[in-house]
Amino acid sequence: MNGLDYELALKSDKRNYFDYYISLIKTKHDLIYTFCYNKDYNIQIIKIDIFLISFTIEYTINSLFFDDDTMHKIYETKGSFNFLYQLPSIIYSTLISIALNSILKLLAFSNDAILDFKQDKSIDNLEFKEMKLRKKLQIKFILYFILSFLFLLFFWYYLAMFGAIYRNTQIHLLNDTLISLGISFIFPFIFNLIPGFLRIPALSDAKNNRKYLYKFSKFLQAF
């Protein structure tokens, strides 16, 4: 329903703001989408794989922000965790991790491609279209596994070196990572409030001439 074109949505989508918001949370919140929602066309094991890789990404990206200034600050505070000092790097790490996860999801998720295939009502060259879809998904899955393997290989090597050199920063790094994960879990509840403020007025307009407003709401819901 969320992916319908404007004309079809005008006829079919009669949901209120709350129903639309809940649908976004089900399909956009990583924790809920991975373990509590199965009404899609994505492979469950890949969803779980991406969820686990996302933790590794968070952990590694946070470690990249541990520079000489950070080490000196830890020394000055005698090892205590300074939340306000770490907060900017935590936010940057979260945003970078979300971007990297989005790239992996584009390669790994098959839901949009299958929905496009199902919504194509033309029966011309149906077998060719099915073969083309299968080939497209195969290529995407291969690229995903290659890219995720390279990510994990780099992450393993870097974290092993980091842990060996900076043994006394492991608690700080773990705290930063857990806070980043917490932010990434809270962020969808806040950000997904926005598309509904555009989509619902676009579909309830009496003149049905808010197509661009609707398209912009679809653009926002993609994040």
Give the pLDDT confidence of 53-88 residue by residue, as tens digits: 988 998 999 888 887 777 777 777 776 767 777 788
* pLDDT tens digits along 172-210: 888 888 888 888 889 889 999 999 999 998 888 777 788
Residue 32 counted as domain residue: no
* pLDDT tens digits along 89-121: 888 888 888 888 888 888 888 888 888 888 777
**What is the span of the domain harbouring residue 120?**
43-167
- pLDDT score at 149: 92
Residue 127 counted as domain residue: yes
pTM to 2 decimal places: 0.79
Q: What percent of the chain has pLDDT over 70?
A: 98
Distance from C-alpha of 94 to C-alpha of 205, rounded to nearest angstrom: 37
What's the total number of domains in the chain?
1
CB 181 within 8 A of CB 93: no
Does the structure show a pLDDT above 90 at 20?
yes
Q: In 3D, which of 104, 99, 103 has the Cα closest to residue 61?
A: 99
Query: What residues contact 91, with CB distance under 8 A and at least 6 apart?
Result: 183
